[in-house]
A and B are shown apart, each in its own frame.
Chain A
Amino acid sequence: MTATTTAAAPDVDVATARPRPRPLRWLGGAVLAVVAAQIAWFLTHNDRLEWPVVAEYLFDANVLAGLATSIGLTVAAMVAGSALGVLLATGQLAAFAPVRWACTLYVGVFRGIPPLVQLLFWFNLAYLLPRLSIGIPFGPTFESWSTNDVVTPLTAALVGLTLHESAYMAEIVRAGILSVAAGQRDAAMAMGFTGGQAFVRVVLPQAMRVIIPPTGSQFISLLKGTSLVSVIAMTDLLHAVQSVYNQTYQIVPLLIVACFWYLVVVTALSFGQQRLERRFGRGQRSATGRWPA
Chain B
Amino acid sequence: MTGNPNGPVLSIRNVRRSFGTHAALDGVSLDVEQGEVVAVIGPSGSGKSTLVRCVHQLEPIDSGAMYLDGELLGYEHHAGRLRPLPARRVADQRRRMGMVFQQFQLFGHWTVLRNITEAQVRVHGRSREQARERAMELLGKVGLAEKADAHPGQLSGGQQQRVAIARALATRPRIMLLDEPTSALDPELVDEVLTVIRDLAAAGMTMIIVTHEIAFAREVADRYVFMDRGRVVEQGPVAGVLGDGTSDRLRAFLSRYTQQLSDSGEARTSV
A-side residues, CB < 8 A to B, are 181, 183-184, 186-195, 197, 201-202, 205-206, 280, 282-285
Contact = CB atoms under 8 A, between A and B. Distances in A.
Interface in B69-107: 87-88, 91-92, 94-95, 97, 99, 101, 103, 105-107
B231 interface: no
B151 A191 contact: no
A86 B58 CA distance: 24
B123 A283 contact: no
Chain A binding surface, main DSSP class: helix
A191 B167 CA distance: 8
Contacts of B106: 187
Given A201-B122, A282-B151, A284-B153, A189 B91 contact: yes
Contacts of B105: 183-184, 186-187
Contact of A283 (B53, B95, B109, B171): B109
Which among A181, A190, A191 has the highest number of chain B CB atoms within 10 Å? A191
B119 A189 contact: no
Contacts of A183: 101, 103, 105
A193 B108 contact: no
Contacts of A280: 109
- B interface residue count range (under 10 / 10 to 19 / 20 to 34 / 35 or more): 20 to 34
Given A189-B94, A190-B56, A206 B109 contact: yes
B152 interface: yes
A191 B117 CA distance: 11
Interface in B99-136: 99, 101, 103, 105-109, 118-119, 122-124
Contacts of B124: 192
Nearest to B111: A283
Given A186-B58, A187-B101, A284-B153, A194 B87 contact: yes
B165 to A, nearest CB: 13
Interface in B38-54: 53
Contacts of A190: 56, 58, 94, 97, 99, 168
23 contacts: A187-B105, A187-B106, A189-B94, A190-B97, A190-B168, A191-B94, A191-B167, A191-B168, A191-B171, A192-B91, A192-B119, A192-B124, A193-B91, A193-B122, A194-B87, A194-B88, A197-B123, A201-B118, A201-B122, A202-B107, A205-B109, A206-B109, A284-B108
Contact of A193 (B97, B123, B152, B154): B123
A196 to B, nearest CB: 8
A192 B123 contact: yes
A191 B108 contact: no
A280 B110 CA distance: 11
Contacts of B58: 186, 189-190
B239 to A, nearest CB: 32
B249 to A, nearest CB: 30
B41 to A, nearest CB: 22
Given A190-B56, A192-B119, A193-B91, 15 more contacts: A181-B103, A183-B101, A184-B105, A189-B58, A190-B168, A191-B99, A191-B168, A192-B91, A192-B92, A193-B119, A197-B122, A206-B107, A282-B109, A283-B154, A285-B153
Nearest to B106: A187
Which among B87, B107, B124, B151 has the highest number of chain A CB atoms within 10 Å? B107
